[in-house]
Structures are given as C-alpha cells and as structure tokens.
Structure 1
Amino acid sequence: MKLIQLDKENFDELVTNSDKPAIVEFFSPGCGPCNALAMLLEEVADMHPEVRFAAMDTVRFPDVAWAFDVMAAPTTVKFVEGRMVTSVAGYVPRERIEELLLE
C-alpha cells in the first residue's frame, strides 16, 4: 500500500478530524533515511488496514511540521482521534513502528 500524500487541504480531513488512527511520516524529499522509512511504512501498512499511513512533505508544508514540533526528517507521528499521541525522530526499525501502533 502506498502512503497517502498529505497536504494542507487534506491533513485535517484525513488526520486531525478522523476517528481512524494515523501514522504520519514527516519527510524531506531526497532524504535517504526518509525514503527507507517510507518503504518500511508501506510494508507495515499492508498488515494494518485499520490504521491510516500517510506522509507529509516538510519542505512544502513546514508550518504543518512545526505545528507538531517536528524538527527533523524523518519524524514519525502517531495520531489517535485526531490528537498527536507520540512521535519518534529519525529512521526506526520495523519493531519500533509496531510498538507505535500499540501506544
């Protein structure tokens, strides 16, 4: 499953105003660790259809990243009932992504 590409127009609808949990990767284009994490998230997304997996470009939408205290790319943020509940900066292994799903 491909990550849903977020922008200012669909972020609220798909993340903050949604009752579906979401894992959002805040990424920077051309970032090697960001690309590797995106591929990993796509694999995990296939196993967890109950969670929305998405990506937000921090270069195009820095104000959205800043609103959630994202200071580095990649940063993975979990949202539940529209609220940010946890985040982790940098590339993380599959095990950490699985832990995020349980938090």
Structure 2
Amino acid sequence: MANVTHATAATFEQEVLGADGPVIVDFWAEWCGPCRQVSPVLDQLAEEHPNVKVVKVNVDEEMSLAMEYQVTGIPAIKLFRDGEIRKEVVGAKPKGALEKDFEGLLD
C-alpha cells in the first residue's frame, strides 16, 4: 500500500491536483459495503502500477470535497491527471473492469 494515502480538504491540492502522474481518488465512507469491496482492488492497482497514486477521501469527514467534486453516490472513483478529472466510475467493480475503464490512463 505504498502508493495509497488519505486526503483532506487541507491536503487535497497537494496530494491530488499537484501530483505528478495519474491519481485515483476513492470517495468512500466506512459504512459503505461496496466501498469496502473496491478498496483492496484499488490497493492492487497501486501496487501493480507504481506510477499511480491512490488517494482515499472519506466523504463523511470531507463533505466539502464531496460536494465540490459532485459525488452523488459512493464509491465514486475519479482518475485525475494534471489536476483534471480524466475518468469517473461510480460503484464497486472488479479489478479487470476498472483496468478497462482506466485503459491508457494509468501510464
């Protein structure tokens, strides 16, 4: 889990918007079952793609970020590159489906 961090409103700009390379942001909550299902999948992606950073944002603790990034359902997984959202996925998906969704964006 070397490439997995947690972000707050205070650290989001540094952790995500100013990061080099692709950043997968997982908007999640502790009570969310699908969030718990997708978390190990994102950990695997981070391990298999050393240039990809995974940042987790707890929507219960960081409601301002959830509103700013229009999170209406969780897990909301957004891939950022160069400070911009390049791909958005809502809901838990298996690893292969996420890799297909993010094809060409994880390099």
- TM-score normalized by the length of structure 2: 0.88
Structure (1 or 2) with the greater helix fraction: 1
Q: Is the 8 A contact 2:23 2:54 kept in 1?
A: yes
- Which residue of the partner structure matches residue 70 of structure 2? 69
Q: Is the 8 A contact 1:25 1:76 kept in 2?
A: yes
The SS at the match of 1:34 is helix
**Which has the larger displacement, 89-98 or 47-56?**
89-98
Q: How many residues align?
A: 103
Counterpart Cα distance in 2 of 1:33 and 1:55: 14
Q: Is the 8 A contact 2:9 2:64 kept in 1?
A: no
Structure 1: any 5+ residue segments left out of the alignment?
none
Q: Is the 8 A contact 1:19 1:82 kept in 2?
A: no
Structure 2: any 5+ residue segments left out of the alignment?
none
Letter in 1 for 2:39: A
- TM-score normalized by the length of structure 1: 0.91
